[in-house]
Amino acid sequence: MSYRSYIKYYEGESFEECLQIYNDKKKKSMAIMGEKHAKTYTFLSPEGKIVTFTNLAKFARDNNLNTQSLKQVAMGRMKSNLGWKLAI
């Protein structure tokens, strides 16, 4: 089974255009869902500043940190990750 059976065709558009519309809608809905379920965290940075953010995975990507290690710190299984600590 291929994408062609799942994607709604619009009049006058090619398959590639419809596929692009489908992928854009999917990315947008996944981003919205990710923000809905994101938790708020408060960490102490290596410089000693308190940083509060929502969405741990996005924060880790933006700051070149390992998401799984930050999750371990947030759950209390690790004390720190690259200087980042949980601020209580």
The 10s digit of each residue's pLDDT in 62-85 is 999 999 999 999 999 999 899 999
Return the closest-CA partner of residue 84 out of 47, 44, 29. Answer: 44
Q: How many residues does the chain have?
A: 88
Domain edges within the chain: 8-36, 40-86
C-alpha–C-alpha distance, residues 8 and 18, integer Å = 7
C-alpha–C-alpha distance, residues 68 and 60, integer Å = 9
The 10s digit of each residue's pLDDT in 13-44 is 777 777 788 788 877 766 666 666 678 899 99
